[in-house]
Amino acid sequence: MYSWRPATERFGWGWGLCVGVLVLLCALCGPLWAQSAASPGSPGAEASWAEVIVNGPSGALLSVDGQSVGPLPLLESLRLAPGPHRFRIDRGSQHAESDILNLPASRQAELNLTLAGRSLVAVLSITPGALLLLSPALASEAGSVRSAVVRAAKAEHVVVLSEARQAALLSERSSLQRCVEGGDCQQTLARTGEVAYVLLADASAGGLQLRLFDLRTCDIAAQLEARCAACSAAQRGERLAALVKGALQQLVMRGRGQLAVRSRPERALVTLDGRVLGQTPLALEAFVGSHQLTLTLPGHAEYRSEITVEPGQTTTVEPALTRGDGATVPPSRLPPTSNGRPLWRYLAGGALIGGGALLLGFGGAALAQNGTCQDPQADPATCSPYYNTLGIGAALTPIGAACVLGGVVLIAWPSRRP
């Protein structure tokens, strides 16, 4: 005859402790996970939106998912959540709707809409993204300048990110400013696939200056100037738009090649034309032409070489560094070697492992106690009642194992590099 009451009384304190541990884990990990989910790099954050340039019949009214957006052409790109969307065009008596299109997250796209009778032909293509950084001299005219630059970039099939999206990316990845202004390009936005170029616009008493920074090569792709001594805000915008168009056209004409840098020993700091790019072994893209390559490693002589990158070819450099009193790498310029995991992951992972181990212990004890006599002096063959704790053990053991595994994965899984 089964007796549940004594077993429940014996293990009731265990159930209470297990529930308390689980509640404590939820209280500790819940806010941390929520904070991580709300960070700029999380799927629901600002940086995950898709930026879409829409081209279509001039004057036609554009609707997305049944919501009116406005007449074409749009002044700026659309910011849409990633996933399925349906586009509709209304022009006079013509009404047409596209098939469902899936937009990628954190990317830029160009959508060309064409009316073909009662059908709407929609062609979606992924386009490069660009950041627009204006100097303080242009801050008072930021609105008009930005609108003109956005239109010029759109004509060259480049999407200038919205101000909100740009702010989210810059706050998440401060390495961009170090790369553009300081030459420390070991980590760039180009590695995320979200941004390809940075447009840096400045104004002086005599004119305007524009630099186009290519994040794939971490190099200035074009640098143009225009005289604009007594220009109005609208004229400044148009002059900068012309510079942007010219710079993007120059970029297309520049050839590219690949550069593979290795060294013996490894982990030497790679500097190309004064820009710090990372540690050996390193594979990167570079513009065609001559470049100054420098490798530095503490305790070894500095290696310098002039290399030539050919279009479409891979240039390989693999020197053996010699020990000596050559230049050493300042500690501040060395790439970080830590795994970069945030503290909350260690805390949450440790709590999960500890709680899981506790649950495993209770589950194992319950499984071991199952089927034994409640009275240890009784004959096992005629014992009654005996413990029936199989359900308790079978429930606690997999939960504990899952907690331990989750904690290990949370600590061991590498963080996304900024």
Tens-place pLDDT, residues 401-416: 888 888 888 788 766 5
**Same structural domain, 138 and 205:** yes
Q: Which of 163-177, 225-239, 322-336 has the highest mean pLDDT?
A: 225-239
Tell me the mean pLDDT in the region 86-110.
81
Does 9 or 310 have the greater pLDDT score? Answer: 310
Give the residues across from 292 on adjacent strands: 306
Q: Sign of the C-alpha dihedral, residues 225, 230, 232, 235?
A: negative
- 363, 397 Cβ separation under 8 angstroms: yes
Helix (H, G, I), strand (E, B) or coil at 224: strand
Give the span between the Cα atoms of 40 and 194, in whole angstroms: 14
Mean of pLDDT over the chain? 78
> Checking DSSP bridges between strand 101-103 and strand 83-85, what pairing results, if any?
antiparallel
If asked whether residues 80 and 158 sit together in one domain, one would say no
Say if CB 167 and CB 94 are below 8 A apart: no
Chain Cα centroid distance, residue 3: 58
For residue 249, tell me if it sits in a domain: yes
Read off the CATH number of the domain in which 245 is found: 3.40.50
Q: What is the pLDDT of residues 231-240, one digit of tens each?
A: 888 888 899 9
Tens of pLDDT, residues 201-251 = 998 877 899 999 988 888 999 999 998 877 888 888 899 999 999 999 999
- Which CATH number characterizes residue 105's domain? 2.60.40
pLDDT value of residue 12:
47
Domain residues for the domain of 275 are 257-333
Q: Does residue 14 lie within any of the structural domains?
A: no
Q: Is 36 domain-assigned?
A: no
Could you tell me what percent of the chain has a pLDDT over 70? Answer: 77
State the pLDDT at residue 377: 67
Nearest to 14 by CA among 398, 406, 404, 389: 389
Question: Is residue 387 in a domain?
Answer: yes
Interval 23-82: pLDDT, tens: 455 444 444 443 443 343 443 444 467 778 788 888 889 999 888 888 888 877 787 888
Give the per-residue pLDDT at 106: 65
Length of the chain: 418
**Secondary-structure percent of the chain, ordered helix, strand, coil, rounded to 5:** 35, 30, 30
Tell me the backbone φ, ψ of residue 234, rounded to 5 degrees.
-65, -40
Token look-up 């509640």 returns 23
Last residue in a domain, options 95, 127, 159: 127
Cα-Cα-Cα-Cα dihedral sign, residues 27, 28, 34, 35? positive
Residue 41 lies in a domain: no
User: What pLDDT score was predicted for residue 332?
Assistant: 37
Q: Which residue has the higher pLDDT, 189 or 289?
A: 289
- pLDDT score of 232: 83
The answer to whether residues 116 and 155 belong to one domain is no
Residue 417 lies in a domain: no
Task: Give Cβ neighbours of residue 337 (< 8 Å, ≥ 6 apart).
Answer: none
Contacts 24+ apart (CB under 8 A), 190-194: 190/215, 190/216, 191/417, 192/106, 193/106, 193/107, 194/47, 194/106, 194/107, 194/108, 194/129, 194/169
With a cut of 60, say whether residue 271 has pLDDT above it. Answer: yes
CATH number at residue 283: 2.60.40.1120
Query: How many domains is the chain partitioned into structurally?
Result: 4
Within 10 angstroms of residue 130's Cβ, the number of other Cβ atoms is 25
The per-residue pLDDT for 247 is: 93
- Determine which of 49-63, 142-156, 168-182 has the lowest per-residue pLDDT on average: 168-182
pLDDT of residue 252: 87
Distance separating the N- and C-terminal Cα atoms of the chain: 63
Section 132-137 average pLDDT: 89
Query: How many CB atoms are closer than 10 A to CB 139?
Result: 10
Same domain, 136 and 249: yes
Which of 58-67, 143-152, 340-349 shows the lowest per-residue confidence on average (mean pLDDT)? 340-349
Question: Residue 194: CA atoms inside 13 Å, Cβ hemisphere, count?
Answer: 24
Residues contacting 416, CB < 8 A, separation 6+? 41
Residue where a domain stops, chosen among 281, 311, 333: 333
- pLDDT grade for 164, boundaries at 50, 70 and 90: confident
pLDDT at 153 over 80: yes
pLDDT confidence of residue 187: 65
**Mean pLDDT calculated for residue range 307-335:** 73
Same domain, 148 and 99: no
Q: What is the mean pLDDT of residues 302-317?
A: 92
**Is 7 a domain residue?**
no
With a pLDDT cut of 90, the percent of the chain lying above it is 21
- The better pLDDT of the pair 14, 282 is held by 282
User: Predicted confidence band at 296 (pLDDT cuts at 50, 70, 90)?
Assistant: very high
What stretch of H or E contains 94? strand 94-97
Residue 405 sits in the same domain as residue 373: yes
Residues 305 and 351 in one domain: no
348-399 per-position pLDDT tens digit: 888 888 888 888 888 888 788 777 777 766 666 667 667 778 888 888 888 9
Given 317, 333, 349, the domain boundary residue is: 333
Cβ 245 vs Cβ 252: under 8 Å: no
Indicate the pLDDT class of residue 1, thresholds 50, 70 and 90. Answer: very low
